[in-house]
Chains A and B, each alone.
Chain A
Amino acid sequence: EAGVTQSPTHLIKTRGQQATLRCSPISGHTSVYWYQQALGLGLQFLLWYDEGEERNRGNFPPRFSGRQFPNYSSELNVNALELEDSALYLCASSLAPGGLQETQYFGPGTRLLVL
Chain B
Amino acid sequence: GQQVMQIPQYQHVQEGEDFTTYCNSSTTLSNIQWYKQRPGGHPVFLIQLVKSGEVKKQKRLTFQFGEAKKNSSLHITATQTTDVGTYFCAGTGGGADGLTFGKGTHLIIQP
- Residue numbers of A with Cβ under 8 A of B are 33, 35, 41-43, 45, 48, 55-56, 90, 92, 97-100, 102-109
The SS class assigned to the A binding surface is loop
A102 in contact with B45 (CB, 8 Å): no
In B93-111, which residues have CB < 8 Å from any A CB? 94-104
Q: Please report the total number of B residues contacting A with Cβ < 8 Å.
A: 26
**Which residues of A sit under 8 angstroms from B104, Cβ to Cβ?**
42-43
Tally of A-B Cβ pairs under 8 angstroms = 62
A48 in contact with B48 (CB, 8 Å): no
How many Å lie between the Cα of A33 and that of B44 in the bound state?
14
A-contact bits for B26-50, CB 8 A (1 contact / 0 none): 0000110101000001111100101
A97 in contact with B100 (CB, 8 Å): no
How many Å lie between the Cα of A55 and that of B48 in the bound state?
23
B100 in contact with A109 (CB, 8 Å): no
Instruction: Name, among A35, A45, A99, A104, the residue most crowded by chain B CB atoms within 10 Å (CB to CB).
Output: A104
Given contacts A33-B98, A45-B101, A55-B96, contact A103 B33 (CB under 8 A): yes
A56 in contact with B45 (CB, 8 Å): no
**Which residues of B sit under 8 angstroms from A45, Cβ to Cβ?**
98, 100-101
How many Å lie between the Cα of A56 and that of B93 in the bound state?
14
**Which residues of B sit under 8 angstroms from A55, Cβ to Cβ?**
96, 98
| Of the residues B31, B88, B97, contact of A100 by C-beta under 8 Å | B31
B103 in contact with A108 (CB, 8 Å): no
A102 in contact with B42 (CB, 8 Å): no
- For residue A103, which residue of chain B has the nearest CB? B45
